[in-house]
Amino acid sequence: KLTVTDDKARQGQFAAHLFKLGQEQFLDLIPGDCQYATNQADLVGAAMFPGHLLFRVAGLGPELQLAACDFDWLHKYLEAHPDALAHRQEQDATLLTASTEDLQRFVRQHSGPGELFKPPIPLLRQTNNLPPTDRTPAP
| Residue 139 binned pLDDT confidence (cut-offs 50, 70, 90) | very low
Summarize pLDDT for 12-61 with one digit per residue, the tens: 889 999 999 999 999 999 988 766 666 667 676 666 667 889 999 998 87
Between the CA of residue 130 and those of 7, 124, 136, what are the distances in Å? Answer: 15, 12, 17
